[in-house]
Chains A and B, each alone.
Chain A
Amino acid sequence: EIVLTQSPATLSLSPGDRAMFSCGASQTIAGNNLAWYQQKPGLAPRLLIYDASFTAPGIPDRFRGSGSGTDFTLTITRLEPEDFAVYYCQQYGILYSFGQGTKLEIK
């Protein structure tokens, strides 16, 4: 089983700031099969990034994914008020697993 570790657990920032989320894998993720999801309270998760760096349809270009192997990053270049939520990374290289999530809160 591939274990994903996200950091930090909580990120406190202000609208207009740059946000960076980290996701580390316990082993190399083949094919960079790594996705990022956003979840707001009471709603289902939404796919943001797939294959580590490709933005899903309808997702604003301020969301950017990068990384390979065991280290991946989600960057939101300039935070909008609607971006405050919980973010999860997920691997689909060997079965499937999620990180524990990072909560992005308003400072």
Chain B
Amino acid sequence: QVQLVESGGGVVQPGGSLRLSCAASGFTFNIYAMHWVRQAPGKGLEWVAFLRYDATKDSYADSLKGRFTISRDNSKNTLHLQMNSLRTEDTAIYYCVKSGGSYGADAFATWGQGTLVTVSA
């Protein structure tokens, strides 16, 4: 069955960096677009970033202002999110999400269990 397992979360000081990873299994990873979505404690869902199946196109939420970078390694069935210049408002559960298709114009079909990132001094 489709599985997405996030890792790399933890506690980081404001201004610091963190790299999240998502190990995918149970499907042909290299033909699906992928996303990161986050959820601050007690709040709603916020889309963070998108990457096409072949990594030739990415998109980001305006609120991130160039601090985050999404990438993928199709040879290792892995998705990453590099987060720099972290702020307290970046504190959230980060979900790895499989798109329903290759190019991004699809619903978010499958979600990982999430990894918690806490930005605090």
Q: A95-B47, A96-B47, A97-B47 known; A46 and B104 CB under 8 Å? A: no
C-alpha gap A2/B89 in the complex (Å) = 22
Which B residues lie within 8 Å of A20 (CB)? none
Q: A44-B95, A50-B100, A92-B104 known; A98 and B47 CB under 8 Å? A: yes
> Which of B8-16, B17-25, B68-76, B108-116 participates in binding chain A?
B108-116
- Category for how many chain A residues contact B: 20 to 34
Nearest CB of chain A from residue B35's CB, rounded to whole Å: 7
Which A residues lie within 8 Å of B95 (CB)? 44-45
**B interface residues, Cβ below 8 angstroms from A:** 35, 44-47, 50, 59, 62, 95, 100, 104-114
C-alpha gap A53/B61 in the complex (Å) = 26
Q: Which 10 pairs show the lowest CB-CB distances between chains A and B? A: A50-B107, A35-B107, A44-B111, A96-B47, A98-B45, A101-B44, A100-B44, A47-B107, A45-B111, A88-B45
Which B residues lie within 8 Å of A43 (CB)? 113
Nearest CB of chain A from residue B19's CB, rounded to whole Å: 21
Can you offer 5 A-B residue contacts whose CB atoms are under 8 A?
A: A37-B108, A45-B95, A46-B111, A92-B107, A99-B44
C-alpha gap A39/B97 in the complex (Å) = 14
C-alpha gap A96/B35 in the complex (Å) = 10
**A interface residues, Cβ below 8 angstroms from B:** 1, 31, 33, 35, 37, 39, 43-47, 50-51, 56, 88, 90, 92-93, 95-101
Which A residues lie within 8 Å of B107 (CB)? 33, 35, 47, 50-51, 56, 90, 92
Whether A47 lies near B47 (C-beta < 8 A) is no
Whether B106 lies near A92 (C-beta < 8 A) is yes
Whether A31 lies near B105 (C-beta < 8 A) is yes
User: Could you say which of A50, A51, A95, A98 contacts B44, with CB atoms under 8 Å apart?
Assistant: A98
Nearest CB of chain B from residue A41's CB, rounded to whole Å: 11
User: Could you say which of B59, B62, B105, B108 contacts A90, with CB atoms under 8 Å apart?
Assistant: B108
Which B residues lie within 8 Å of A37 (CB)? 45, 108
